[in-house]
Chain A
């Protein structure tokens, strides 16, 4: 007879459309609690999306900055890098200085187009009784091309032997304003430490290699050696003739210096690719950790969903009892309530996405100098996480609903 039952009443699962419309109706029936919950979910999702997007925008911003250097730049630093294995020699073995002669030797490599040495340090720069602490870069005329600098007025450091310590300087826009005001600076003299330099150029404002060009003073590298009483170079920038020949150039630089340094590999050569990869990694890690913090708000929103759904289950006990009396199985009740919490969290996530989009638009409007954009995967991630949150935090209330005893649930109030 039991077998016959199944033939007499073939079983179908509920139609998806019915599940959705029933749950949507139920989810939106109690406006007050639903709105509060949607707000929590919307804030959570939008903060995740916005923070991911800000992190991603910052990453792009920095990488774009470095990318303007050109793909054929190599940076030579004194000291061996850790990439060859083992810790860098901090004590005991002091790396040999990187000297101006080393830099000049590099110009003889066939695949090298330009070389520029850099010594950096900060020093007091003064005009009359006005005094500012600025970043002083000792360099050569090649820096102009290698770092794609631009001048507002005047000219850059003169070409010629880098060993010549001419007393001229190129000053950043901000430093010029602070020291000379609106007076013309070209041809004027300023004092760096105990030496006098004639201003021959003013840089256009901008940022290069992470330095604000407004606050630098560029002087000939030999003058900087004398000023800081130091012969070792801070960096040597090398531009290769061909971005395809980077590895070959790198090897040639290492070989040249090794010969000059009595067989010791005591320099590090990094390429833009390496720098970019590092920054990329750093920013991705930063973005992820910030997004992780924002995800805590998703958990809070999830707990709100759970709370709202638990209240709904106890408010709708009679309805659940009725559905059971009408033949709804435990599984069906579970499905209906899970659908309801998922619908709630999806609507919340949708609103959150719109909020995030508006937020990013507003930020882009307020800070037009930063290229802000919505990170491509952030919306997918946020929606996915919201759905998962809705389901996970919906399970407990849905189970409570499904486990209600129908006789008890229908009992007279």
Chain B
């Protein structure tokens, strides 16, 4: 369902050209659990950005669920992100002034869903992630683990086919980290493709497939 072919990404830093991705090709089938690993600066976040349509490759093609998404315009790409891709970030990226409930409801709101229908979906999600009594709390009133659970609830509220997680435990203590990973793995068992970027080998080992990146290339894939 994911097919990347010969992806190149070059950034201009000052007057130097930095090759973030060099001829990256990979495929993934539905329901896979992949860890993208590598030292910092190896291009693993750049790869995740390409996979999440947050960035466009300079060349190469990207097919997602049979659609050549690399050729879609900005609006169509936004639609794909909304319906097929869920993001989980290291720094949670919750909107600080909004409650947990509203943060989870954001994707539904952007898609124009009616208030009543939204209410039901978000309430179900809150309960499913053990946040039922935290609905009206703002992010600064939540623990790190709770914040990441809100972020995961938000990432899954549109029932995406793939979840992209960038260092999802990087900002959590050990116990909260394990809890978050177990939630993500539970989602993977429900046939959602899970791609985690991490430099934590222990977390990487839990994935069924590891991709090692070095200097913008896929060094190892097993």
| Interface size grouping (class) on chain A | 35 or more
| A-contacting 9-mer, from B103-111, B199-207, B210-218 | B103-111
How many Å lie between the Cα of A330 and that of B67 in the bound state?
21
Tell me if B111 and A12 are in contact (CB < 8 A). Answer: yes
**Chain B CB within 8 A of A26 CB:** yes
**Chain B CB within 8 A of A325 CB:** yes
**Chain B CB within 8 A of A328 CB:** yes
**Chain A CB within 8 A of B87 CB:** yes
In the complex, how many angstroms separate the beta carbon of B24 from the nearest chain A beta carbon? 16
In the complex, how many angstroms separate the beta carbon of B13 from the nearest chain A beta carbon? 13
How many Å lie between the Cα of A312 and that of B164 in the bound state?
28
**Chain B CB within 8 A of A152 CB:** no
Please encode chain A, from 1 to 39, with 1 for each CB lying within 8 Å of some chain B CB and 0 for all others: 110010011011111011000100110010000000000
Q: Residues of A contacting B91 with CB < 8 Å?
A: 318, 412-413
**Chain B CB within 8 A of A331 CB:** yes
Tell me if A406 and B110 are in contact (CB < 8 A). Answer: no
How many Å lie between the Cα of A107 and that of B98 in the bound state?
84
Tell me if B83 and A9 are in contact (CB < 8 A). Answer: yes
In the complex, how many angstroms separate the beta carbon of A21 from the nearest chain B beta carbon? 9
Tell me if A14 and B110 are in contact (CB < 8 A). Answer: yes
**Chain A CB within 8 A of B81 CB:** yes
**Chain A CB within 8 A of B123 CB:** no
Tell me if B112 and A15 are in contact (CB < 8 A). Answer: yes
Summarize A's interface: helix, strand, loop or mixed.
helix
- Name the residue on A nearest B107 (C-beta): A326
CB within 8 Å for A25 and B74 given contacts A11-B79, A18-B109? no
Instruction: List 10 interface pairs A-B (beta carbons < 8 Å), by A numbering.
Output: A2-B67, A11-B111, A12-B112, A15-B113, A29-B97, A326-B154, A327-B79, A328-B78, A406-B54, A413-B91
Tell me if A327 and B89 are in contact (CB < 8 A). Answer: no
- Name the residue on B nearest A322 (C-beta): B93
**Chain B CB within 8 A of A332 CB:** yes
Q: Residues of B contacting A326 with CB < 8 Å?
A: 81-82, 87, 106-107, 110, 154
Residue from the set B54, B67, B89 with the largest chain A CB neighbour count within 10 Å: B54
Tell me if B65 and A1 are in contact (CB < 8 A). Answer: yes
Q: Residues of A contacting B154 with CB < 8 Å?
A: 326
CB within 8 Å for A325 and B54 given contacts A15-B109, A15-B112, A17-B115? yes
Tell me if B115 and A15 are in contact (CB < 8 A). Answer: yes
Tell me if A324 and B115 are in contact (CB < 8 A). Answer: no
Q: Residues of A contacting B95 with CB < 8 Å?
A: 319, 322
CB within 8 Å for A14 and B67 given contacts A326-B154, A327-B78, A330-B74? no
In the complex, how many angstroms separate the beta carbon of A2 from the nearest chain B beta carbon? 6
Tell me if A14 and B112 are in contact (CB < 8 A). Answer: yes
In the complex, how many angstroms separate the beta carbon of A26 from the nearest chain B beta carbon? 7
**Chain B CB within 8 A of A354 CB:** no
Tell me if A324 and B97 are in contact (CB < 8 A). Answer: no
How many Å lie between the Cα of A26 and that of B95 in the bound state?
10
**Chain A CB within 8 A of B14 CB:** no
Q: Given contacts A1-B65, A325-B52, could you give 7 more A-B pairs where the C-beta distance is less than 8 Å?
A: A11-B79, A12-B112, A15-B113, A327-B83, A405-B54, A407-B54, A413-B91
Q: Residues of A contacting B79 with CB < 8 Å?
A: 5, 9, 11, 327, 329
Tell me if B75 and A324 are in contact (CB < 8 A). Answer: no
Tell me if A407 and B55 are in contact (CB < 8 A). Answer: yes
Q: Residues of A contacting B82 with CB < 8 Å?
A: 9, 326-328
**Chain B CB within 8 A of A410 CB:** yes
**Chain B CB within 8 A of A323 CB:** yes
In the complex, how many angstroms separate the beta carbon of B198 from the nearest chain A beta carbon? 14
Tell me if A13 and B112 are in contact (CB < 8 A). Answer: yes
Please encode chain A, from 308 to 339, with 1 for each CB lying within 8 Å of some chain B CB and 0 for all others: 00000000001101111111111110000000
- Name the residue on A nearest B106 (C-beta): A326
Q: Which of A5, A319, A325 contacts B87 (CB 8 A)?
A: A325
Q: Residues of B contacting A13 with CB < 8 Å?
A: 112
Tell me if A328 and B49 are in contact (CB < 8 A). Answer: no
Q: Residues of A contacting B80 with CB < 8 Å?
A: 5
**Chain A CB within 8 A of B222 CB:** no
Q: Residues of B contacting A322 with CB < 8 Å?
A: 93, 95
How many Å lie between the Cα of A406 and that of B49 in the bound state?
9
Q: Residues of A contacting B107 with CB < 8 Å?
A: 326-327
Q: Residues of A contacting B113 with CB < 8 Å?
A: 12, 15
In the complex, how many angstroms separate the beta carbon of B17 from the nearest chain A beta carbon? 17
In the complex, how many angstroms separate the beta carbon of B100 from the nearest chain A beta carbon? 15
In the complex, how many angstroms separate the beta carbon of B72 from the nearest chain A beta carbon? 8
CB within 8 Å for A26 and B75 given contacts A326-B82, A326-B110? no
Q: Residues of B contacting A15 with CB < 8 Å?
A: 109, 112-115
Q: Residues of B contacting A25 with CB < 8 Å?
A: 97-98
Q: Which of A1, A29, A324, A332 contacts B54 (CB 8 A)?
A: A324
**Chain A CB within 8 A of B90 CB:** yes
Q: Residues of B contacting A22 with CB < 8 Å?
A: 109
Q: Which of A5, A26, A323, A413 contacts B106 (CB 8 A)?
A: A323
